[in-house]
Amino acid sequence: MASSPEQTTHDDPPPGDGAPPRRRPGGRTGRVREQVLAAVQAELAERGYDALTVDGVAARAGVHRATVYRRWRDVGGLLADVFAAASDDDWQPADTGTVQGDLTALNEESQTALTAQPPLVSALIAASFRSDEAARGVRELWEDRYTRCEVIVTRGVERGEIPPGTDARRLLVAATAPVYHQLVLLGTPPDPDLPGQAARTAVLAASAGAFATG
C-alpha cells in the first residue's frame, strides 16, 4: 500500500545513505503528492495502464524517481493512492429538491465523467481489472460515493416522495447501474435521455415499494 503522505514527511535522500530522513514542511509533501497523483492520472488517461510506469510518472511529475519508489513502491501503490485521494474531497450529490432530480444530476455527472476525453474514469475502471490494489481502491471509492448519496433517499422520504423504510443503497444502485452498464460494459454511445430515464425508473419502483426493507 501507498504510505500516507501525512506519515511520511521525509523526502529525497536516496535510501541507504545512512542519514536520518530530513524533515520537510507538510506543504512540500502535499505538493509532491499532488504532482505525482496528477501525473498518474494524466499518464493513465493519455497512454493507458500498459504504459504506466513509476519512472514515467516520476519524470512527468518532475519528482525524483527514488522518492516515488520509496513512497508509493509500484504502479499498484500509485493507483491505490489516486483512489484514496479521490475520496478525500468534499463532494456531495446535488440537492435539486426532488429525488428524481437528484438522481438525474448524479447520472449526468457519471455519464459526463465516463465519456470525458481523455478517458480518465474509464481508464481507472479498466485499471481495476489489472491491479488488486486498484480494485480495492475503486471499491472503497464506490462505497464512499454511495454512502454520501444516501442523503438523496433520506431527503426524499422526509418530503414524502418515497416510502419510509426504502433501502437507500438498493435504490441508488438501481438508479445508477444502467448508466455504467450501457457505457462501460455494453459500450453503447452515450444517450442523453438515459440519466433521467434511469432516475425516473428507480423512483417509480421505489414508490411501488420495490426497495422496502424488512
The sign of the dihedral angle between the CA atoms of 56, 64, 83, 193 is negative
Taking the least distance from each CB to its own copies, the nearer of 10 and 169 is 169
Q: Nearest to residue 107, comparing CAs of 185, 208, 182?
A: 182
Indicate the residue type of 109: E
Residues 6+ apart with CB under 8 A from 190: 111, 114, 115, 183
Shortest Å, Cβ 108 to its own copies: 17
Taking the least distance from each CB to its own copies, the nearer of 61 and 202 is 202
Taking the least distance from each CB to its own copies, the nearer of 19 and 186 is 186
Among 42, 45, 135, 157, indicate the residue that binds its own copies (CB under 8 A): 135
Shortest Å, Cβ 129 to its own copies: 4
Cα–Cα distance for residue pair 141/98, rounded to 1 Å? 25
Interaction residues for its own copies, span 81-100 (CB under 8 A): none
Shortest Å, Cβ 30 to its own copies: 30
Among 94, 120, 125, 151, indicate the residue that binds its own copies (CB under 8 A): 125
Using the structure block, give the residue that is written with the C-alpha cell 420495490: 210
**What x/- string results for residues 170 through 189 when contact with its own copies is judged by CB under 8 A?**
x--xx-xxx-xxx-xxxx--
How large is the C-alpha radius of gyration of the chain? Answer: 21
Taking the least distance from each CB to its own copies, the nearer of 104 and 182 is 182
**Half-sphere CA count of 138, side-chain side, radius 13 A:** 16
Taking the least distance from each CB to its own copies, the nearer of 12 and 144 is 144
DSSP-H helix ranges across the chain? 26-47, 54-61, 65-72, 75-87, 99-114, 120-127, 132-158, 168-180, 194-207
Applying CB under 8 A, does 24 fall inside the site for its own copies?
Answer: no
Q: Nearest to residue 37, comparing CAs of 93, 109, 110, 89?
A: 89
Shortest Å, Cβ 167 to its own copies: 9
Q: Which residues bind its own copies (CB under 8 A)?
A: 125-126, 129-130, 135, 138-139, 142, 170, 173-174, 176-178, 180-182, 184-187, 197-198, 200-202, 204-205, 207-211
